[in-house]
Amino acid sequence: MPYMIYQQYTTAIKEAYAGQAAVSENYEAAKSCREWLESLQIDPKLREPMVEQIAAIEEAFKDLVRAK
């Protein structure tokens, strides 16, 4: 189930941001957010789903950066 949602995230991001100048900045922001979430000292069962979501978003922006 989460895979389908994450696929929707990545598709929406790629469609909305393809060719935009701020793609690199958005990638860096997503990366920073993921790293921060990973550093939270909370129950991993709560932390990991948040990290997975932002990681999917980060990956979409990373793909866009590579495609530039």
pLDDT 10s digits, 8-62 = 999 999 999 999 999 999 999 999 999 999 999 999 999 999 999 999 999 999 9
The pLDDT assigned to 56 comes to 96
CA distances from 46 to 27, 28, 60 (A): 24, 24, 23
Give Cβ neighbours of residue 47 (< 8 Å, ≥ 6 apart). Answer: 37, 38, 40
CA–CA distance, 37 with 28 (Å, rounded to integer): 14
